[in-house]
Structure 1
Amino acid sequence: MNFFIDSNLILDFLSERKPFAENANQIFNLAYNKHIFLYTSSQSVLTSHYILKKAFAEEKVRKSLSEILEIIEIISVDKIILQKGLKSIHKDYEDAVQIFCAHKTENLTGIITRDMKDFSTSEISVFAPDEAIIYINKKLKS
């Protein structure tokens, strides 16, 4: 199963944001153990770095991001994606860019995000983290 994740899930995991960290930990553990495959945009990595460095030392932030890059595949944000985002019906440009990056993921099961509202116009299935965990566990048992 292939899932695209946004910055929120990365931030929940790396900053141990309560109460969201528990679900993020489960999702990253599923990826670490190769039960699922995670994808994100290059922009999400940059955004995560920018936000994390406000709360944590630069060295710790770089080490943490480096570690998760071992288990996440990166989809590059390119000119075509940026243009599609600008022309799209999605109200939030940054989320539109994320959605169009997700479209580049082969055999995508869905997007995992806590930002359900801004992803509601996505043509791709969207899961809240807790919903994704339930869905994944059902698929793994069948």
Structure 2
Amino acid sequence: MDLFLDTNILIDITANREPFSKWAIKIFKDSKKGRWRLMTSSISILTTYYIIEKQIGSTKAKRFLKILLNRLEVQDISKRELLTGLTTKFKDYEDSVQHECAKLCKSVDFIITRNKKDFKNSIIEVLSPEELYFDSTADY
């Protein structure tokens, strides 16, 4: 199974945002065990660095990102996704672009985010980290 991780999940794990980080850690641990493959967008990596660098400094932020990049597949965002993101029914532009990026990953089964309401127009099923583990529709 392939999971597309929204930026907030990456920030949860790198910034150790309690109580959310426990779910992000579990997702990454289960990925390491081969339960699923993790994907994200290039913009999520940049945004994560931007946010955590202010909190923990550039040296630690780079160290965390190196670990993340070794555990994730990263889908690039092109001008096409940026333009398409402007024309969707999504209220939030960044989430619209994330969705367009996730669609490029043909094998994505779920988008994982803590902001499900922002993805209500998604054609890919959206789960919170908790639902990933407790939702009976997530066939794993």
TM-score (norm: length of structure 1): 0.93
RMSD over equivalenced CA pairs, Å: 1.4
Change (3 A) 1:71 1:135: farther
1:56 aligned residue: 56
Check the 8 A contact 1:113/1:126 in 2, yes or no. Answer: yes
Q: How far off is 1:135 after superposition?
A: 4.7
Identity of aligned residues (%): 36
Superposed counterparts of 1:44-123, under 5 Å: 44-123=44-123
Letter in 2 for 1:49: Y
Separation in structure 1 between the aligned mates of residue 108 and residue 116 of structure 2, nearest angstrom: 17
**CA offsets 1:21-71 (integer angstroms, 9 cap, x no match):** 111110011112221011100000000000001100211100110011111
Separation in structure 1 between the aligned mates of residue 67 and residue 9 of structure 2, nearest angstrom: 15
Separation in structure 2 between the aligned mates of residue 103 and residue 139 of structure 1, nearest angstrom: 19
SS in 2 for 1:87: coil
Check the 8 A contact 1:11/1:52 in 2, yes or no. Answer: yes
Separation in structure 2 between the aligned mates of residue 135 and residue 32 of structure 1, nearest angstrom: 21
Separation in structure 2 between the aligned mates of residue 11 and residue 119 of structure 1, nearest angstrom: 18
Runs of 4 or more consecutive aligned structure 1 residues displaced over 6 Å after TM superposition: none
TM-score (norm: length of structure 2): 0.94
Corresponding residue pairs, total: 139
1:29 aligned residue: 29
Q: Which runs of 5+ in 1 are unaligned?
A: none
Q: How far off is 1:108 after superposition?
A: 1.4
Letter in 2 for 1:22: K
Q: How far off is 1:139 after superposition?
A: 4.1
Letter in 1 for 2:8: N
Separation in structure 2 between the aligned mates of residue 87 and residue 57 of structure 1, nearest angstrom: 36
Separation in structure 2 between the aligned mates of residue 102 and residue 78 of structure 1, nearest angstrom: 12
Q: Which runs of 5+ in 2 are unaligned?
A: none
1:11 aligned residue: 11
